[in-house]
């Protein structure tokens, strides 16, 4: 089917959404928005990827815009100051490049290279200024992102973000070991791991600098707020699994909800796709209920004080962007060249990957 996505592409106004991946409720109830800074964002992130040597010039020229990394973030963090939006977009682009490096290290059995990178990222996370000129562009680019992201809110927020990302790095290490051993995690093991490798709490943390307000722990940990945040991220992770299943089967991946369901629950491919889709749809239904509870929370925070009003406004902004995540993720998967496996010469090797920079000769 064709769905009008209000595409950010300069040449495409509609994309074809396969029936198995179509979610009419997203198209009807979650209107797509885009940060007005997006055109400049795309240009600056493209330049940043070149300056930090994260992708070679020919790959940037041919693939960067079509991968739609900036589109994804510009559809999520609406209302963020331009400087915050740029830092988040650059960090997101870095994250995709890191994910590709991790994949290549697994594919080529580079356990020592991965362990070294893992250690360097942990160190750069704790002291980014000391790693701005690291010889590995991936470490230096990460450090640059952290210096910028750490500049917006308090030291306490920085420590929370670092704690969450240390856990993400370790989760990627568990993925490396699983893939090296050919171990398919059980469904429960996978769901726990996926919340970390998809960086659920990182993207949720970044809602706060986008809103210009650090939320109190009591608000962040409120059951309704936490559930809404989790649902938006689970939707994204599981919809990604639904869309990337062909790519990951082609690449001998073991981390996909569909793959765990097939391997451990005895489902056929068709049954697994149906089950992942059911979970995706459940995330949408539950979010529509939960967002009402978060709005009620926001109203109770407006207690007549300046701080109460600030928190109330920030919670509404964060909730609005959780909602934006649904449409941004949905259209990203149908516009980004990252998922067009059938058009690749080698279904297991993305054409935008820079093998040499990842250590391959």
96 included as an active-site residue: yes
| Catalytic annotation, pick one of 32, 46, 220, 338 | 338
| Catalytic annotation, pick one of 198, 235, 287, 332 | 198
Residue that is written with structure tokens 């568990």 in the block:
174
CA pseudo-torsion sign 61, 63, 66, 68: negative
179 included as an active-site residue: no
The two structure tokens encoding residue 185: 């995690």
CB burial of 321-334 (b: ≥16 within 10 Å; e: otherwise) equals bbbbbbbbbbbbbb
CA dist 354 → 29, 66, 95 (Å): 39, 16, 15
| Catalytic annotation, pick one of 30, 32, 95, 323 | 95
The two structure tokens encoding residue 45: 């992130």
Beta strands in the chain (DSSP E): 2-4, 14-16
Distance CA 74, CA 188 (A): 32
Residues 6+ apart with CB under 8 A from 103: 251, 353
| Catalytic annotation, pick one of 53, 96, 148, 340 | 96
142 included as an active-site residue: no
Element (H, E) at 309: helix 306-335
Closest listed residue to residue 310, CA positions, set 201, 219, 203, 202: 219
Instruction: State the DSSP string of 29-78.
Output: HS-----TTHHHHHHHHHHHHHHTTSS-HHHIIIIIHHHTHHHHHHTTST
Say if CB 159 and CB 239 are below 8 A apart. Answer: no
Active site residues: 95-96, 198, 338
């Amino acid at each position: 089917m064709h769905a009008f996505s209000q595409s950010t592409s300069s040449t495409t106004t509609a994309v074809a959404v396969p029936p198995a991946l179509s979610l009419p409720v997203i198209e009807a109830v979650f209107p797509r928005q885009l940060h007005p800074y997006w055109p400049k964002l795309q240009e600056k992130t493209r330049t940043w990827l070149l300056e930090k040597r994260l992708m070679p010039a020919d790959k940037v020229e041919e693939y960067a815009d079509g991968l739609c990394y900036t589109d994804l973030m510009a559809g999520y963090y609406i209302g963020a100051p331009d400087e915050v939006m740029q830092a988040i977009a650059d960090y997101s682009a870095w994250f995709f490049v890191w994910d590709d490096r991790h994949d290549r290290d697994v594919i080529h059995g580079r356990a020592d290279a991965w362990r070294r990178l893992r250690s360097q990222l942990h160190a750069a996370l704790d002291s980014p200024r000391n790693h701005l000129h690291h010889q590995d562009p991936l470490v230096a680019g990460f450090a640059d992102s952290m210096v910028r992201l750490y500049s917006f809110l308090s030291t306490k927020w920085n420590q929370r973000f670092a704690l969450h990302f240390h856990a993400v790095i370790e989760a990627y290490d568990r993925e490396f070991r699983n893939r090296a051993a050919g171990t398919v995690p059980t469904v429960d093991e996978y769901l726990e791991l996926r919340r970390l490798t998809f960086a659920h709490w990182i993207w949720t943390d970044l809602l706060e600098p986008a809103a210009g307000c650090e939320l109190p722990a009591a608000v962040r940990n409120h059951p309704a707020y936490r559930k809404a945040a989790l649902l938006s991220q689970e939707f994204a992770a599981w919809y990604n699994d639904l869309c990337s299943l062909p790519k990951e089967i082609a690449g001998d991946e073991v981390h996909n909800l569909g793959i765990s369901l097939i391997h451990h629950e005895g489902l056929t491919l068709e049954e697994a796709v149906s089950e992942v889709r059911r979970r995706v749809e459940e995330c949408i239904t539950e979010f529509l209920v939960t967002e009402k509870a978060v709005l009620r929370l926001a109203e109770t925070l407006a207690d007549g004080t300046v701080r109460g009003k600030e928190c109330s406004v920030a919670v509404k902004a964060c909730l609005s962007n959780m909602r934006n995540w649904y449409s941004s993720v949905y259209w990203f998967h149908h516009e980004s060249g990252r998922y067009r496996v059938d058009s690749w010469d080698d279904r297991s090797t993305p054409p935008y990957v820079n093998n040499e920079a990842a250590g391959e000769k």
